[in-house]
């Protein structure tokens, strides 16, 4: 099993998609870039894994749901912005805004 994990990590690194450690963004939220299919460290408790997976796979739904916490003033355009800060075909940069 350990060999399989190491092989996947090496393949992702060679593909230019390495998992970053969580850090803080300009508004104080944790952010972490993860290869597609993974979840950030701050999405490990209770319902958070299911909610972050939904935000990743069903952005088409969350884009139409406004956030009610007042985060529009920091640039969030929908509820999806509270989960995902940026994304590419290979990776997603998650934000802890929804988890806090």
Q: Which helix (H) or strand (E) holds 1?
A: none
Q: Which is more confidently placed, 3 or 56?
A: 56
How sure is the predictor about 8, in pLDDT bands with cuts at 50, 70 and 90? Answer: very low
Can you give the residue ranges of every domain in the chain? Answer: 17-99
CB 79 within 8 A of CB 68: no
Structure tokens of 25? Answer: 């963004």
Confidence of residue 77 (pLDDT cuts 50, 70, 90): confident
Question: pLDDT confidence of 57, banded at 50, 70, 90?
Answer: very high
């Amino acid at each position: 099993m350990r060999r399989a994990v190491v092989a996947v990590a090496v393949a992702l690194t060679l593909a230019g998609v390495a998992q970053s450690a969580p850090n803080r963004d300009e508004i104080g939220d944790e952010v972490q870039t993860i290869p597609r299919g993974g979840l950030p460290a701050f999405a490990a408790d209770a319902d958070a894994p299911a909610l972050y997976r939904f935000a990743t796979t069903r952005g088409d739904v969350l884009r139409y749901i406004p956030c009610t916490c007042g985060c529009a003033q920091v640039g969030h355009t929908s509820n999806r912005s509270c989960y995902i800060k940026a994304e590419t075909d290979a990776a997603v940069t998650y934000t802890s805004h929804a988890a806090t």
